[in-house]
């Protein structure tokens, strides 16, 4: 696995992966920064070079990597790294840190398997506290193609007082769990949805907007 970007995010990620016995190469283009990283995680795990440059990628072993993680502080650099990893080196799995959540769609269009936005995560946590009927991503399956989401049902939702079997969910979408008055419940077709229920569903990433429509219209 190659991690591009030796800032705090890249360093902490690399440290945790090394602790789990993963083979890691952390790339850093600043010589002083690379030296500092080498003193922390070892010279064998640090590569000095610009991860956006083709020759550097070749020498670092992009062609052999099973996973590339781009986590520099610049979305433009992360985009270049991911695009080259996918289109030129045919890396199976490419992940990216996205500093501006408005850029996530661009990363998805070039085939990045999964993006992480600290801003987006914090926003979701805030939304979870103040907005009803809004679906909140809480996890991902199958390399991000399936989302695990949750939503609190308000009195406005058309789902109130309806059985799950009578709800027309998007294709390949299932309500798998429900929390009612702080008690977890297994969901069946006969389960009635009530106001203030929290539902947990699995939905294909491209169907998430359709699920939102079901909850609110």
Q: Which domains are delineated in the chain? A: 2-120 (3.40.50.720), 131-216 (3.30.70.1450)
Residue 10's pLDDT is: 92
SS3 at position 36: helix
Q: For residues 121-160, b (16+ Cβ closer than 10 Å) or e, as one string? A: eeebeeeeeeebbbbbeeeeeeebebbbbbbbbbeebebe
Q: Residue 59, class by beta-carbon neighbours within 10 Å (0-12 exposed, 13-18 middle, 19+ buried)?
A: exposed
Residues 6+ away with beta carbon under 8 Å from 22: 1
For residue 198, what are the CA distances in angstroms to 100, 192, 193, 205?
29, 12, 9, 20
Q: How far is Cα 109 from Cα 192, in angstroms, rounded to an integer?
A: 38
Q: How far is Cα 197 from Cα 217, in angstroms, rounded to an integer?
A: 17
Q: How far is Cα 66 from Cα 56, in angstroms, rounded to an integer?
A: 17
Q: Residue 47, class by beta-carbon neighbours within 10 Å (0-12 exposed, 13-18 middle, 19+ buried)?
A: buried
For 182: left if phi > 0, alpha if psi spans -120 to 50, otherwise beta; the answer is left
Question: CA-based diameter of the chain, in Å?
Answer: 63
Reading the chain (217 residues) residue by residue, the pLDDT tens digits are: 999 999 988 999 999 899 989 999 999 999 999 999 999 999 999 999 999 999 999 999 999 999 999 999 999 999 999 999 999 999 999 999 998 878 888 998 888 887 887 666 655 555 555 455 567 767 767 666 788 888 888 888 899 999 999 999 999 999 999 999 888 889 999 999 999 999 999 999 888 888 888 887 7
Q: How far is Cα 54 from Cα 118, in angstroms, rounded to an integer?
A: 28
Query: Is 22:65 a contact under the CB 8 Å cutoff?
Result: no
């Amino acid at each position: 696995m190659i991690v591009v970007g030796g800032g705090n995010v890249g360093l902490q990620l690399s440290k945790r992966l090394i602790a789990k016995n993963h083979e890691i190469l952390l790339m850093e283009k600043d010589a002083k920064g690379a030296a500092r990283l080498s003193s922390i995680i070892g010279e064998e795990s640090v590569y000095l070079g610009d991860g956006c440059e083709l020759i550097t990628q070749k020498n670092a072993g992009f062609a052999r990597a099973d996973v590339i993680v781009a986590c520099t502080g610049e979305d433009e650099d992360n985009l270049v790294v991911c695009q080259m990893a996918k289109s030129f080196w045919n890396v199976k799995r490419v992940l990216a840190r996205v500093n501006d959540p408005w850029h996530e769609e661009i990363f998805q269009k070039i085939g990045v398997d999964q993006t992480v936005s600290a801003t987006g995560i914090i926003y979701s946590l805030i939304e979870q506290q103040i907005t009803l009927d809004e679906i909140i991503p809480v996890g991902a399956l199958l390399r991000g193609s399936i989302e695990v989401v949750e939503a609190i049902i308000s009195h406005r939702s058309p789902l109130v007082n309806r059985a799950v079997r009578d709800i027309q969910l998007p294709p390949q979408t299932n309500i798998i769990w429900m929390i009612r008055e702080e008690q977890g419940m297994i969901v069946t077709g006969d389960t009635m949805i009530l106001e203030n229920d929290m539902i947990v569903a699995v939905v294909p990433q491209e169907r998430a907007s359709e699920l939102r429509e079901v909850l609110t219209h």
